[in-house]
Amino acid sequence: TPVLQLADLSHVYVNEKGAALVLEGLQLSLSRGEFLSLVGPSGCGKTTVLNLLAGLFPPTMGRVMLGGETVTGPSPKVGYMLQQDYLFPWRSIRDNAAIGLEINGTKTRASMEAVDEVLSELGLGGYGSRYPHELSGGMRQRVALARTLVTEPELLLLDEPFSALDLHIKLQLEELVQRTLKRLSKTAVLVTHDLAEAAAMSDRVIVMGRNPGRFRSELVVPEEIR
């Protein structure tokens, strides 16, 4: 079974100003460990796709299936990493990284050991008892990644997670994230407006256009480019 399947997904936003068709007939299937990027201009519907994958609202038409089951709402099987880290300033790095475990009710001595392990794998071994203000932007994004990974999601959604970073930190982090997700065989969908970033990180790229039906151009990124 594919980890993720989109079957003829369409979405229309309706409000007092009228109705806007944003997605039309999106089909997609991702197997375990595959990394997909969605690229396209602002307003083309990238965030809408991620929000549908996260089950934040239902699609107007079609289905999102995760592990063969139709998504009907938010689930701990999906992890989200955003442009901002949203760390709690009054919590230590370790307790920030563990927050998803608390929310899911799976925080135990063993899962806290896993938190420490993930933090060290991401080069933050010595920082567990520090606080967010003591870390650089790139380090805080690594904490945000750790926080997502420790809940062991089946699908990771990455919404412009590098776009607020300086160029060389951004490149370093892209490499670290790509390597870590491959090693853990995580299935991921990245939204970015940076085609170089998409090519460097993904197995496949879907280029979305302003016109809702125009997102079928799909590229398979050759190994040597990644």
Choose between 130 and 193: whose C-beta lies nearer to ligand ADP: 193
What part of residues 44-103 is at the interface with ligand ADP (CB under 6 A)? 44-48
Q: Which is nearer to ligand ADP, 47 or 180 (CB)?
A: 47
Q: For residues 48 and 187, which CB has a smaller minimum distance to ligand ADP in the complex?
A: 48
Q: Is 138 in the site for ligand ADP (CB under 6 A)?
A: no
For helices 167-183 and 137-149, the axis angle rounded to 10 degrees is 20
| 184 is an interface residue for ligand ADP by CB under 6 A | no
Beta bridge partners of 190: 37, 158
For the CB of residue 27, give the shortest distance to ligand ADP in the complex, in Å. 18
CA 14 to CA 6: how far, in whole Å?
22
- Site pattern 147..166 for ligand ADP (x: CB under 6 A): --------------------
Q: How far is the CB of 193 from ligand ADP (least distance, A)?
A: 8
CA distances from 76 to 46, 66, 96, 106, 150 (A): 21, 12, 17, 11, 11
Among 42, 109, 167, 224, binds ligand ADP (CB under 6 A): 42
Alpha carbon of residue 94 to chain centroid: 21
- Return the residues of window 8-37 that contact ligand ADP according to CB under 6 A: 13, 15, 17, 20, 22
H or E segment and range at residue 30 = strand 18-30
Residue spans of beta strands (DSSP E) within 67-221: 69-70, 78-81, 155-159, 187-192, 204-207, 218-220
Q: Which is nearer to ligand ADP, 47 or 120 (CB)?
A: 47
Q: How many residues bind ligand ADP (CB under 6 A)?
A: 13
Q: Tokens 């370790």 sit at which residue? A: 94
Question: Would you say 43 or 213 has its CB closer to ligand ADP?
Answer: 43
> Least Å distance between CB 54 and ligand ADP?
12
Q: How far is the CB of 15 from ligand ADP (least distance, A)?
A: 5
Tokens coding 183: 């090693």
Residue type for position 173: L
Name which of 69, 66, 65 is nearest 77 in CA terms.
Answer: 66
Rounded CA separation 213/205 (Å): 16
* Residues β-bridged to residue 192: 39
Are 182 and 95 in contact, with CB atoms under 8 Å apart? no
* Residue with Cβ nearer ligand ADP (46 or 186): 46
Residues that bind ligand ADP (CB under 6 A): 13, 15, 17, 20, 22, 40, 42-48
